[in-house]
Structure 1
Amino acid sequence: MTWLTSAEALSPASFRSREARYGYWMAHAAGQPNDSLLAKILASREAGIGALPARLGLDPEAFAALLQAHFPRAAALLPDAGIGDDDWHERGNEREDIEVLLLAHRSGRAGSEVWLAGIVAAACMGGDHLWQDLGLWSRTDLGRLMTENFPALAERNDRDMKWKRFLYKQLCQAEGIYVCRAPSCEVCVDYARCFGPED
């Protein structure tokens, strides 16, 4: 399968392809927590939707383990090429910081939380909203991913800040960096950029 251009990825055909691939993954799902979310991410990646690199940003062993745990009867082959792979290697520390943040707040209910931490961290390197970069189908999917897998972080985001901004804000606060000079979010001129809709 070849990687699609941006225009092709937004075409009705690519969205139909994504839905078909989602059906394939779910037909082979193992009945584990996160099967549906991972099936959406995989289907989008195959249809060229989202910004995840090859193997969803995981190393080959972790990706193989994810497939075995969630879709053991699927014969999966994803393309090796990914968008922004070279740029993302340069941002390795940033990516690792996000992954560590997520892992420190995992629920401990599902082994796939470890893989999802890596996948979410990889998607944070993309340029769109986090749910879009992940290849999820709505912001609601992302809210579910965070609530079920990283509930302590989800509870902290009690004002529904955009997830990518929220994660980076958590990293800045952990380092004692407070770049926003507004006395509160409500009076900040950039309020809509942090809390506005993610269409």
Structure 2
Amino acid sequence: MNQNLAWPYATVAMTPNRPRAIDIYAQLMVHAADLPNEDLFAKMLASQTIGSGILPIYLGLRKSAFMALFQRHFPGATPPQISPMLVRCWSETRLAEREDITALLLEHRAEIDFSEVWLAEIVAAACMGGNHLWQDLGLWSRADVTQLMTQNFPTLAAKNVHDMKWKKFLYKQLCQQTGIYVCRAPSCEICVDYLHCFGAEE
């Protein structure tokens, strides 16, 4: 996994713009259609507006998909304005990597709501960042990512029995799928890099 990305991040908990993010979140939730994942989408959008996370414009979706998401989940609301300084794009050299992560997630979708499809693409885009998944998504805590995974991709989330960090966990699943085992440690518990994969994500 390429961790060498130069984009800065600032979590909502750390930035002086936190009150603005909370205000944007509240405004979006007033328009929420009472469908799954609206709390998560509103947090991502609020964070992106103040420069938190590393998702590119439209949360990493195509513009048409983003507009469909926004109109479905926040009818009557106006999409938050994203500063041109925050418009990011991904190297095409990592397109296959994003597609693999998206496919992995979709294999395990709950099939309760179509927003799971959008979330799979958004999570895959966030995996291109170099920080914890909840930070790169612009969510407000690790608990948000755990909610995202268990609610939308429950059979995959159930495999994370040792509470591995979510981005590490997703890449480990990809490696196991393809038969590539990049870690030489016979078990996680005795690995010298244990804390890179497990433990706090604050």
What's the TM-score once normalised by structure 1's chain length? 0.92
Q: Map Cα deviations across residues 42-99 of structure 1 (whole Å, 9 max, x no partner).
A: 1111111111000000001110110011001111144255465143x33111011100
Picking from 101, 125, 130, the partner of 2:133 is: 130
Secondary structure of the 1:147 match is helix
Q: Distance in 1 between matches of 2:175 and 2:128?
A: 16
Decide which of 51, 69, 73 is 2:72's aligned counterpart.
69
Amino acid at match of 2:154: P
Q: CA RMSD in A?
A: 1.9
| Superposition pairs of residues 45-64 of structure 1, within 5 angstroms | 45-64=48-67
Query: How far does the alpha carbon of each residue in 1:105-139 deviate from its partner, in whole angstroms, 9 at most, with x for none?
Result: 00001110000001000000111100000011000
Counterpart of 1:42 in structure 2 is 45
- Provide the residue aligned with 2:101 in structure 1: 98
* Residue 144 (structure 2) aligns with: 141
- Deviation string, structure 1 residues 166-191 (Cα, Å, up to 9, x no partner): 00011111110011111111111111
Matched, 1:174 2:160: no
Provide the residue aligned with 1:16 in structure 2: 19
How far did 1:39 drift? 0.6
Task: Between the two structures, name the one with larger relative contact order (CA 8 Å, sep ≥ 6).
Answer: 2
**What is the distance in 1 between the residues matched to 2:147 and 2:50?**
22
Gaps of 5+ in 1: none
Alignment correspondent of 1:165? 168
Gaps of 5+ in 2: 1-6
CA distance in 2, matches of 1:114, 1:49: 23
Deviation of 1:8 (Å):
10
Preserved CA contact (<8 Å) 1:53 1:81:
no
Q: Cα 1:5–1:142, aligned 2, differ >3 Å: closer, same or farther?
A: closer
User: Partners of 1:127 and 1:101 in 2: how far apart?
Assistant: 20
- Give me the whole-angstrom Cα distance separating, in 2, the residues matched to 1:43 and 1:127: 20
Partner amino acid for 1:112? S
Give the match's secondary structure for 1:21.
helix
Q: Is the 8 A contact 2:40 2:144 kept in 1?
A: yes
Go from structure 1 to structure 2 and tell me whether the alpha carbon gap of 1:24 and 1:51 turns closer, same or farther (over 3 Å shift): same
- What does the per-residue CA deviation read over 1:124-171, in whole Å, with 9 as the maximum and x for residues that have no partner? 011110000001100001000000000011100011000000000111
2:186 maps to 183
**TM-score under structure 2 length normalisation:** 0.90
Distance in 1 of aligned mates of 2:41 and 2:10: 24
* Aligned residue type for 2:190: V
Residue type matched to 2:120 in 1? A
